[in-house]
Amino acid sequence: VRARVMQVEKKPEVSYADIGGIDEQMEEVRETVEMPLKSPEMFDQVGIDPPSGVLLYGPPGTGKTMLAKAVANQTDATFIKMAGSELVHKFIGEGAKLVRDLFELARQHEPAVIFIDEIDAIASKRTESKTSGDAEVQRTMMQLLSEMDGFEDRGQISIIAATNRFDMLDPAILRPGRFDRLIEVPKPDEDGREIIFRIHTRNMNVSDDVSFEELAEEADEASGADIKAICTEAGMFAIRDDRTEVRMEDFRAAWEKIKQAESEEDDEVS
């Protein structure tokens, strides 16, 4: 069970240079997470508790997971990821135990970054309906809070959580000593999009007619993940056309295709 819910990576291969358009957020994550991992003794000597959990929130595909991985890379830490949704949906009755296992695993792999994705799945506001599923979710969250509270002597373990549904969170997890550093990771603006296009085309054979500036302007509303998908899809268009050089028209066609696919998805949801 544990293997399917937790993903462990020794020093993941993501660096800060792979992340574009969210410099301020990156700085803040570095300040809060790197220091306690690299120099825990500083906090002892100064006599303050290191920041506990960092919560990243914002729309999907904006680089939250990347940020957590890059911190682990930079600090030579093991990256341990757990998805909140999998935890409660697939393994009813196991949630609290899995949370205990998660922290145990981190202690064995110090320094470690624990990344809890979709934390809203285990820490959402109490809903009206009191089904047994809710009670299970509640127990899982209580276990998480108690692990975090009992963490004075946590050594070199950092906890980063992420959510797309900030509004849904139970205020209990935002109390001091828990996830009390909140960092919003928004979709990139136009300059950010241009940087992200450059990052994802670094290894691509791009024709001279490609303007990243124009692409950034045209791909309005695209997230980092969308831009990554546009680049891959543009490459596919070139291959289908039997070319090895990727042109502006390929990028434009790719964006059209991805936009289309996303609006169809939205239609299905609503």
Annotated binding site for ATP: 61-66, 200
Report the residue number whose CB is nearest to ligand ATP.
224
Please, what is the minimum distance in Å from the beta carbon of residue 268 to ligand ATP? 17
Please, what is the minimum distance in Å from the beta carbon of residue 194 to ligand ATP? 11
DSSP label at 32?
I
Cα–Cα distance, 6 to 4 (Å, whole number): 6
Please, what is the minimum distance in Å from the beta carbon of residue 40 to ligand ATP? 27
Nearer to ligand ATP, 95 or 188 (CB): 188
Q: Count CB-CB contacts under 10 A for residue 97.
A: 15
Nearer to ligand ATP, 62 or 74 (CB): 62
Phi, psi of 150 (to 5 degrees): -85, 30
Cα–Cα distance, 113 to 159 (Å, whole number): 6
CA angle 40-71-101, nearest 5°?
Answer: 75
Q: How many CA atoms lie within 13 A of 75 on its CB side?
A: 29
Nearer to ligand ATP, 162 or 258 (CB): 162
Catalog residues that contact ligand ATP under the rule CB under 6 A: 19-22, 60-66, 117, 162, 164, 196, 199, 224-225, 228
Nearer to ligand ATP, 36 or 224 (CB): 224
Annotated binding site: 61-66, 200
Please, what is the minimum distance in Å from the beta carbon of residue 192 to ligand ATP? 7
Residue 102's nearest CA partner among 176, 183, 157 is 157
Spell out where 40-178 has E strands.
53-57, 78-83, 112-117, 157-163
Residue 145's nearest CA partner among 103, 185, 93, 104 is 103
**Pair 52, 148: CB distance under 8 Å:** yes
Nearer to ligand ATP, 62 or 156 (CB): 62
Please, what is the minimum distance in Å from the beta carbon of residue 60 to ligand ATP? 3
